[in-house]
Structure 1
Amino acid sequence: MEDFLLKPLVNSIIYSFLGFVILLICYLVLEKLTPENTWKEIVQNKNSALAIIFAAFILGVSFIIGMSIHG
């Protein structure tokens, strides 16, 4: 009975961590591809257009990761 409840919980934690790591890697790759420091541009210069683009990127990659994990 314990294995029936424990296995899905462990799988969920592993896949969540794996998805977070993949998302972080994708963000770092995009950060290297852009000419400016995007975090500085968004926070210090208050560039809302860039913030919207990065939010769309993060949501898009998150959906892809989630669907690939889900099957």
Structure 2
Amino acid sequence: MTLFSAINPAEVVSTIFYTALGVGLMGLCWWGITRIAPFPVVKEIEEDQNTALAILIGALFLSLAIIIAAVILS
């Protein structure tokens, strides 16, 4: 029995598809955040060193990732 005999090609394709879907949704959310915010988000985090905003955006992405994963798994 070889190492790769247990790999199902359909599972590999679905994993790649759902990974791309999740990354695409996260990118769409980032685009929406930067459009809705009344200030430049990237400038606030990078140049002004706004740690609170960086933590808030990080927590938002973690929560979105959990929601997207739960929807994909259901």
Task: Give the TM-score normalised by the residue count of structure 1.
Answer: 0.91
Q: Find out whether 1:36 has 2:39 as its counterpart.
A: yes
Equivalent position SS for 2:39: coil
- Answer yes or no: is 1:23 the counterpart of 2:23: no
Letter in 2 for 1:68: V
Structure 2 distance, partners of 1:44, 1:30, is: 18
1:34 shift after superposition: 0.5
* RCO higher in structure (CA 8 A, sep ≥6): 1
- The runs of at least 4 consecutive aligned structure 1 residues that moved more than 2 Å come to none
CA offset digits 1:19-69 (Å, max 9, x no partner): 100111011111111111111110100000000000011101111111100
**RMSD value over aligned CA atoms?**
1.2
Which protein shows a greater Rg?
2
Mind listing any 5+ residue stretches in structure 2 that lack a counterpart? none
Distance 1:67 1:13 in 2: 17
Describe the SS at the equivalent of 1:66: helix
Q: How many residues align?
A: 69
Quote the sequence identity (%).
Answer: 29
**1:7 and 2:10 matched:** yes
